[in-house]
Amino acid sequence: MTSPTTARIAVVGAGPGGLTCARILQRHGIAVTVHDRDLGPDARDQGGSLDLRADDGQLALREAGLLDEFFAHARPEGQEMRGLDPSGELRAHHVPDPDERVKPEIDRGRLRTLLLDSLQPGTVRWGHALDRVGGSPGGPRTLHFADGTTAEADLVVGADGAFSRVRRAVSRAVPRHTGVSFLEARFNDVEDRHADLSRLVGPGSAHAADGTRALFAQRGSGGHIRVYVIQRVPVDWIAAAGLTVEDTAGLRAHLLAEFADWSPDLRRMITDNDGPYVDRPIHALPVPHTWDHDPAVTLLGDAAHLMPPLGVGVNLALLDARDLALALAHSPTVADAVRAYEDTMLPRSTEMAKLLENGVQDLLSAD
Protein backbone atom coordinates (compact mmCIF):
# COMPACT_ATOMS: atom_id res chain seq x y z
CA MET A 1 0.00 0.00 0.00
CA THR A 2 1.35 3.44 -0.97
CA SER A 3 2.38 5.86 1.76
CA PRO A 4 1.36 9.51 1.28
CA THR A 5 5.00 10.53 1.73
CA THR A 6 6.06 8.51 -1.32
CA ALA A 7 2.87 8.76 -3.40
CA ARG A 8 2.58 10.63 -6.67
CA ILE A 9 -0.26 13.04 -5.83
CA ALA A 10 -1.81 15.04 -8.67
CA VAL A 11 -4.33 17.80 -8.01
CA VAL A 12 -6.32 18.87 -11.08
CA GLY A 13 -7.45 22.49 -10.85
CA ALA A 14 -5.62 25.55 -9.50
CA GLY A 15 -8.66 27.13 -7.88
CA PRO A 16 -8.90 27.94 -4.16
CA GLY A 17 -9.59 24.33 -3.16
CA GLY A 18 -6.83 22.73 -5.19
CA LEU A 19 -4.22 25.30 -4.18
CA THR A 20 -5.17 25.12 -0.49
CA CYS A 21 -4.86 21.34 -0.57
CA ALA A 22 -1.41 21.61 -2.18
CA ARG A 23 -0.26 24.24 0.33
CA ILE A 24 -1.23 22.17 3.37
CA LEU A 25 0.34 19.03 1.90
CA GLN A 26 3.60 20.87 1.33
CA ARG A 27 3.55 22.20 4.90
CA HIS A 28 3.52 18.54 5.99
CA GLY A 29 6.37 17.57 3.69
CA ILE A 30 4.20 15.77 1.14
CA ALA A 31 5.02 16.27 -2.53
CA VAL A 32 2.19 17.34 -4.86
CA THR A 33 1.74 18.57 -8.41
CA VAL A 34 -1.15 20.81 -9.50
CA HIS A 35 -2.29 20.74 -13.13
CA ASP A 36 -4.40 23.57 -14.56
CA ARG A 37 -5.79 24.26 -18.03
CA ASP A 38 -5.01 28.00 -17.88
CA LEU A 39 -1.85 29.03 -19.69
CA GLY A 40 -0.76 31.02 -16.63
CA PRO A 41 -2.02 32.64 -13.44
CA ASP A 42 -3.22 35.76 -15.29
CA ALA A 43 -4.82 33.99 -18.25
CA ARG A 44 -8.40 34.99 -17.36
CA ASP A 45 -10.52 37.00 -14.97
CA GLN A 46 -10.95 35.10 -11.70
CA GLY A 47 -14.41 36.46 -10.91
CA GLY A 48 -15.82 38.59 -8.15
CA SER A 49 -15.54 38.70 -4.38
CA LEU A 50 -15.70 35.82 -1.91
CA ASP A 51 -16.60 35.76 1.76
CA LEU A 52 -14.50 33.34 3.79
CA ARG A 53 -16.25 32.26 6.96
CA ALA A 54 -14.81 31.76 10.40
CA ASP A 55 -16.08 28.19 10.78
CA ASP A 56 -14.82 26.73 7.49
CA GLY A 57 -12.85 28.79 4.97
CA GLN A 58 -10.83 30.57 7.63
CA LEU A 59 -10.08 27.26 9.38
CA ALA A 60 -8.48 26.00 6.18
CA LEU A 61 -6.38 29.13 5.73
CA ARG A 62 -5.24 28.84 9.34
CA GLU A 63 -4.06 25.29 8.62
CA ALA A 64 -2.32 26.63 5.52
CA GLY A 65 -0.50 29.23 7.63
CA LEU A 66 -2.10 32.04 5.63
CA LEU A 67 -4.80 33.43 7.91
CA ASP A 68 -2.91 36.56 8.93
CA GLU A 69 -2.07 37.29 5.28
CA PHE A 70 -5.71 36.75 4.37
CA PHE A 71 -6.84 39.35 6.92
CA ALA A 72 -4.21 41.76 5.58
CA HIS A 73 -5.93 41.67 2.17
CA ALA A 74 -9.55 41.03 3.18
CA ARG A 75 -12.25 43.68 3.33
CA PRO A 76 -14.27 43.40 6.56
CA GLU A 77 -16.44 46.30 5.35
CA GLY A 78 -17.56 44.00 2.52
CA GLN A 79 -19.77 42.22 5.05
CA GLU A 80 -22.24 45.12 4.82
CA MET A 81 -25.46 44.00 3.12
CA ARG A 82 -28.32 46.15 1.85
CA GLY A 83 -31.75 44.80 1.00
CA LEU A 84 -33.73 46.98 -1.41
CA ASP A 85 -37.17 46.75 -2.93
CA PRO A 86 -37.74 47.32 -6.67
CA SER A 87 -38.45 50.99 -6.00
CA GLY A 88 -34.95 51.36 -4.63
CA GLU A 89 -36.07 51.85 -1.03
CA LEU A 90 -33.88 50.33 1.68
CA ARG A 91 -35.72 47.51 3.45
CA ALA A 92 -32.91 45.83 5.42
CA HIS A 93 -29.39 46.85 6.29
CA HIS A 94 -26.63 44.90 8.00
CA VAL A 95 -23.66 47.02 9.06
CA PRO A 96 -20.80 44.94 10.46
CA ASP A 97 -19.08 45.86 13.70
CA PRO A 98 -15.64 47.45 13.19
CA ASP A 99 -13.89 44.27 14.43
CA GLU A 100 -16.30 41.76 12.84
CA ARG A 101 -14.45 38.89 11.15
CA VAL A 102 -17.26 36.39 10.64
CA LYS A 103 -17.04 36.43 6.83
CA PRO A 104 -14.86 39.21 5.42
CA GLU A 105 -14.64 39.55 1.64
CA ILE A 106 -11.60 39.01 -0.57
CA ASP A 107 -11.31 39.19 -4.34
CA ARG A 108 -10.96 35.81 -6.02
CA GLY A 109 -7.86 36.96 -7.84
CA ARG A 110 -6.23 38.20 -4.63
CA LEU A 111 -6.95 34.89 -2.88
CA ARG A 112 -5.50 32.92 -5.77
CA THR A 113 -2.34 35.02 -5.77
CA LEU A 114 -1.97 34.58 -2.01
CA LEU A 115 -2.18 30.80 -2.41
CA LEU A 116 0.08 30.60 -5.48
CA ASP A 117 2.78 32.66 -3.80
CA SER A 118 2.77 30.25 -0.85
CA LEU A 119 3.61 27.17 -2.95
CA GLN A 120 7.01 25.80 -3.82
CA PRO A 121 8.24 26.94 -7.26
CA GLY A 122 7.06 24.68 -10.06
CA THR A 123 4.16 23.18 -8.10
CA VAL A 124 1.59 24.32 -10.68
CA ARG A 125 1.91 23.08 -14.24
CA TRP A 126 0.04 25.55 -16.42
CA GLY A 127 -1.46 24.73 -19.80
CA HIS A 128 -2.36 21.18 -18.72
CA ALA A 129 -6.01 20.83 -19.74
CA LEU A 130 -7.20 17.41 -18.63
CA ASP A 131 -8.96 15.28 -21.20
CA ARG A 132 -9.61 12.16 -19.10
CA VAL A 133 -8.37 9.96 -16.28
CA GLY A 134 -7.27 6.51 -17.42
CA GLY A 135 -6.32 3.35 -15.55
CA SER A 136 -8.27 1.03 -13.31
CA PRO A 137 -9.91 1.64 -9.93
CA GLY A 138 -7.35 1.32 -7.19
CA GLY A 139 -4.64 2.86 -9.36
CA PRO A 140 -2.22 3.89 -10.40
CA ARG A 141 -4.10 6.30 -12.65
CA THR A 142 -3.01 8.05 -15.83
CA LEU A 143 -3.84 11.68 -16.55
CA HIS A 144 -4.38 12.26 -20.27
CA PHE A 145 -4.03 15.91 -21.24
CA ALA A 146 -5.42 17.69 -24.29
CA ASP A 147 -1.93 18.30 -25.69
CA GLY A 148 -1.26 14.55 -25.87
CA THR A 149 0.98 14.32 -22.80
CA THR A 150 0.31 12.02 -19.85
CA ALA A 151 1.24 11.76 -16.18
CA GLU A 152 1.02 8.85 -13.75
CA ALA A 153 -0.45 9.33 -10.28
CA ASP A 154 -1.13 7.21 -7.21
CA LEU A 155 -3.83 9.70 -6.21
CA VAL A 156 -5.77 12.07 -8.46
CA VAL A 157 -7.63 14.86 -6.68
CA GLY A 158 -10.38 16.43 -8.76
CA ALA A 159 -10.55 20.11 -7.84
CA ASP A 160 -11.57 21.07 -11.37
CA GLY A 161 -14.94 22.62 -10.72
CA ALA A 162 -18.51 22.29 -11.92
CA PHE A 163 -17.82 20.33 -15.10
CA SER A 164 -14.99 18.25 -13.68
CA ARG A 165 -13.18 15.82 -15.97
CA VAL A 166 -11.87 13.92 -12.95
CA ARG A 167 -15.43 13.32 -11.70
CA ARG A 168 -16.09 11.11 -14.71
CA ALA A 169 -13.60 8.56 -13.38
CA VAL A 170 -15.81 7.80 -10.34
CA SER A 171 -19.30 9.16 -11.07
CA ARG A 172 -21.81 9.37 -13.91
CA ALA A 173 -23.54 12.38 -12.39
CA VAL A 174 -23.68 15.55 -14.46
CA PRO A 175 -24.69 19.04 -13.33
CA ARG A 176 -28.25 20.11 -14.15
CA HIS A 177 -29.53 23.61 -14.76
CA THR A 178 -31.42 24.87 -11.71
CA GLY A 179 -33.91 26.91 -13.76
CA VAL A 180 -32.16 30.13 -12.71
CA SER A 181 -29.45 32.00 -14.60
CA PHE A 182 -27.25 34.98 -13.77
CA LEU A 183 -26.16 37.60 -16.26
CA GLU A 184 -23.08 39.39 -14.99
CA ALA A 185 -22.47 43.07 -15.65
CA ARG A 186 -19.24 44.83 -14.68
CA PHE A 187 -18.65 48.42 -13.60
CA ASN A 188 -15.19 49.97 -13.35
CA ASP A 189 -13.84 53.09 -11.65
CA VAL A 190 -17.18 53.38 -9.90
CA GLU A 191 -16.33 56.31 -7.62
CA ASP A 192 -15.83 58.58 -10.60
CA ARG A 193 -17.79 56.97 -13.45
CA HIS A 194 -20.70 55.34 -11.58
CA ALA A 195 -21.02 57.41 -8.41
CA ASP A 196 -24.77 56.82 -8.04
CA LEU A 197 -24.27 53.04 -8.19
CA SER A 198 -21.40 53.28 -5.72
CA ARG A 199 -23.60 55.10 -3.20
CA LEU A 200 -26.47 52.67 -3.73
CA VAL A 201 -24.36 49.55 -3.17
CA GLY A 202 -22.15 50.88 -0.40
CA PRO A 203 -18.97 49.08 0.68
CA GLY A 204 -20.46 45.58 0.50
CA SER A 205 -23.42 44.14 -1.40
CA ALA A 206 -26.97 45.12 -2.30
CA HIS A 207 -29.87 42.89 -3.34
CA ALA A 208 -33.35 43.58 -4.71
CA ALA A 209 -36.02 41.13 -5.89
CA ASP A 210 -39.69 41.04 -6.80
CA GLY A 211 -40.45 37.30 -6.73
CA THR A 212 -39.53 36.50 -10.34
CA ARG A 213 -36.33 38.45 -10.95
CA ALA A 214 -33.56 40.03 -8.92
CA LEU A 215 -30.45 42.17 -9.02
CA PHE A 216 -27.43 41.47 -6.82
CA ALA A 217 -24.57 43.99 -6.74
CA GLN A 218 -21.23 43.22 -5.11
CA ARG A 219 -18.31 45.56 -4.59
CA GLY A 220 -14.78 44.38 -5.21
CA SER A 221 -11.49 46.11 -4.60
CA GLY A 222 -9.94 48.61 -6.98
CA GLY A 223 -13.15 50.52 -7.70
CA HIS A 224 -15.04 47.59 -9.25
CA ILE A 225 -18.64 46.48 -8.81
CA ARG A 226 -20.22 43.40 -10.36
CA VAL A 227 -23.97 43.17 -10.82
CA TYR A 228 -25.78 39.88 -11.37
CA VAL A 229 -29.14 39.98 -13.12
CA ILE A 230 -30.95 36.93 -11.73
CA GLN A 231 -33.88 35.39 -13.60
CA ARG A 232 -35.92 32.21 -13.64
CA VAL A 233 -35.30 31.25 -17.27
CA PRO A 234 -34.31 28.25 -19.42
CA VAL A 235 -30.61 27.66 -19.88
CA ASP A 236 -30.85 28.83 -23.51
CA TRP A 237 -32.91 31.95 -22.79
CA ILE A 238 -30.59 34.27 -24.69
CA ALA A 239 -30.78 32.27 -27.92
CA ALA A 240 -34.53 31.80 -27.43
CA ALA A 241 -34.86 35.61 -27.40
CA GLY A 242 -33.04 35.74 -30.74
CA LEU A 243 -29.93 37.25 -29.15
CA THR A 244 -26.32 36.39 -28.40
CA VAL A 245 -24.35 37.22 -25.28
CA GLU A 246 -22.18 39.55 -27.38
CA ASP A 247 -25.24 41.62 -28.37
CA THR A 248 -25.01 44.04 -25.47
CA ALA A 249 -27.53 46.50 -26.89
CA GLY A 250 -30.05 43.76 -27.62
CA LEU A 251 -29.71 42.24 -24.17
CA ARG A 252 -30.08 45.66 -22.55
CA ALA A 253 -33.30 46.30 -24.42
CA HIS A 254 -34.62 42.85 -23.49
CA LEU A 255 -33.75 43.30 -19.81
CA LEU A 256 -35.16 46.82 -19.63
CA ALA A 257 -38.49 45.41 -20.79
CA GLU A 258 -38.30 42.71 -18.10
CA PHE A 259 -37.47 45.26 -15.38
CA ALA A 260 -39.78 47.99 -16.76
CA ASP A 261 -41.46 48.71 -13.43
CA TRP A 262 -38.25 48.92 -11.38
CA SER A 263 -36.75 52.22 -10.26
CA PRO A 264 -34.43 54.15 -12.59
CA ASP A 265 -31.57 53.82 -10.06
CA LEU A 266 -31.80 50.03 -10.16
CA ARG A 267 -32.32 49.89 -13.91
CA ARG A 268 -28.97 51.65 -14.33
CA MET A 269 -27.43 48.40 -13.13
CA ILE A 270 -28.66 47.01 -16.46
CA THR A 271 -27.90 49.93 -18.77
CA ASP A 272 -24.65 51.48 -17.56
CA ASN A 273 -22.28 48.51 -17.38
CA ASP A 274 -18.81 48.66 -18.93
CA GLY A 275 -18.31 46.09 -21.67
CA PRO A 276 -20.32 42.97 -22.53
CA TYR A 277 -22.40 40.80 -20.23
CA VAL A 278 -21.29 37.36 -19.05
CA ASP A 279 -23.86 34.55 -19.14
CA ARG A 280 -23.71 32.40 -15.99
CA PRO A 281 -26.41 29.69 -15.95
CA ILE A 282 -26.59 28.13 -12.49
CA HIS A 283 -26.09 24.38 -12.36
CA ALA A 284 -26.09 21.91 -9.46
CA LEU A 285 -25.29 18.25 -8.99
CA PRO A 286 -28.02 15.79 -8.00
CA VAL A 287 -28.62 15.53 -4.25
CA PRO A 288 -27.10 13.50 -2.74
CA HIS A 289 -24.02 13.08 -4.92
CA THR A 290 -21.84 10.18 -3.84
CA TRP A 291 -19.63 7.68 -5.63
CA ASP A 292 -18.06 4.28 -5.14
CA HIS A 293 -14.84 4.59 -3.18
CA ASP A 294 -11.67 4.51 -5.28
CA PRO A 295 -8.43 4.88 -3.28
CA ALA A 296 -6.73 6.46 -6.30
CA VAL A 297 -9.33 9.16 -7.13
CA THR A 298 -11.26 11.61 -4.99
CA LEU A 299 -13.00 14.96 -5.41
CA LEU A 300 -13.29 18.24 -3.56
CA GLY A 301 -15.27 21.46 -3.91
CA ASP A 302 -17.65 21.87 -6.84
CA ALA A 303 -16.31 18.71 -8.46
CA ALA A 304 -17.70 16.80 -5.47
CA HIS A 305 -20.82 18.78 -4.54
CA LEU A 306 -21.77 21.57 -6.93
CA MET A 307 -24.49 23.67 -5.24
CA PRO A 308 -26.25 26.97 -5.96
CA PRO A 309 -24.10 30.08 -5.28
CA LEU A 310 -25.38 30.89 -1.81
CA GLY A 311 -22.14 31.65 -0.01
CA VAL A 312 -21.00 28.12 0.83
CA GLY A 313 -19.17 26.88 -2.28
CA VAL A 314 -15.66 28.19 -1.78
CA ASN A 315 -15.88 27.70 1.97
CA LEU A 316 -16.74 24.03 1.58
CA ALA A 317 -14.00 23.66 -1.03
CA LEU A 318 -11.39 25.03 1.38
CA LEU A 319 -12.69 22.84 4.19
CA ASP A 320 -12.54 19.80 1.88
CA ALA A 321 -8.97 20.73 0.96
CA ARG A 322 -7.94 20.98 4.60
CA ASP A 323 -9.57 17.69 5.55
CA LEU A 324 -8.06 15.77 2.63
CA ALA A 325 -4.58 17.17 3.16
CA LEU A 326 -4.65 16.43 6.89
CA ALA A 327 -5.96 12.91 6.25
CA LEU A 328 -3.01 12.31 3.94
CA ALA A 329 -0.60 13.78 6.47
CA HIS A 330 -1.86 11.58 9.32
CA SER A 331 -2.70 8.28 7.59
CA PRO A 332 -0.33 5.36 6.92
CA THR A 333 -1.58 4.85 3.36
CA VAL A 334 -3.24 6.88 0.63
CA ALA A 335 -6.18 4.47 0.66
CA ASP A 336 -6.73 5.03 4.39
CA ALA A 337 -6.55 8.79 3.90
CA VAL A 338 -9.06 8.88 1.06
CA ARG A 339 -11.47 6.71 3.04
CA ALA A 340 -11.17 8.90 6.14
CA TYR A 341 -11.63 12.07 4.10
CA GLU A 342 -14.70 10.86 2.23
CA ASP A 343 -16.27 9.52 5.44
CA THR A 344 -16.18 13.11 6.71
CA MET A 345 -16.76 15.11 3.53
CA LEU A 346 -19.64 13.20 1.90
CA PRO A 347 -22.10 13.36 4.85
CA ARG A 348 -21.25 17.04 5.39
CA SER A 349 -21.74 17.99 1.75
CA THR A 350 -24.93 15.91 1.47
CA GLU A 351 -26.46 17.68 4.47
CA MET A 352 -25.60 21.10 3.07
CA ALA A 353 -26.77 20.22 -0.44
CA LYS A 354 -30.14 19.13 0.92
CA LEU A 355 -30.49 22.44 2.75
CA LEU A 356 -29.67 24.44 -0.38
CA GLU A 357 -31.28 22.22 -3.02
CA ASN A 358 -33.96 24.76 -3.93
CA GLY A 359 -32.27 27.72 -2.30
CA VAL A 360 -31.44 29.46 -5.57
CA GLN A 361 -35.14 30.26 -5.85
CA ASP A 362 -34.82 32.30 -2.64
CA LEU A 363 -32.62 34.78 -4.47
CA LEU A 364 -35.75 35.81 -6.37
CA SER A 365 -37.95 36.15 -3.32
CA ALA A 366 -39.15 39.59 -2.34
CA ASP A 367 -38.93 38.40 1.29
pLDDT at position 10: 98
Mean pLDDT value of segment 111-133? 97
pLDDT at position 365: 83
Q: How far apart are CA 316 and CA 300, in angstroms?
A: 8
Amino acid 142 reads: T
pLDDT over threshold 90, residue 133: yes
Whole-Å CA distances, 270 to 133, 134, 214, 227: 42, 46, 11, 8
Question: Average pLDDT of the chain?
Answer: 95
pLDDT digits (tens, 9 = 90+) for 327-367: 999 999 999 999 999 999 999 999 999 998 878 888 888 77
Amino acid 257 reads: A
pLDDT at position 362: 83
Q: How far apart are CA 105 and CA 71, in angstroms?
A: 9
pLDDT over threshold 90, residue 45: no
Domains of the chain (ranges plus CATH)? 9-80+100-174+286-364 (3.50.50.60), 178-283 (3.30.9.30)
Cis peptide before 234 (omega within 30 of 0): no
**Angle at the Cα of 92 from the Cα atoms of 87 and 93, rounded to 5 degrees:** 120
Q: How far apart are CA 304 and CA 298, in angstroms?
A: 8
pLDDT digits (tens, 9 = 90+) for 87-117: 999 999 999 998 889 999 999 999 999 999 9
Closest CA to 248 of 207, 212, 279: 279
pLDDT digits (tens, 9 = 90+) for 251-274: 999 999 999 999 999 999 998 999
pLDDT at position 310: 82
pTM value is 0.95
pLDDT at position 98: 84
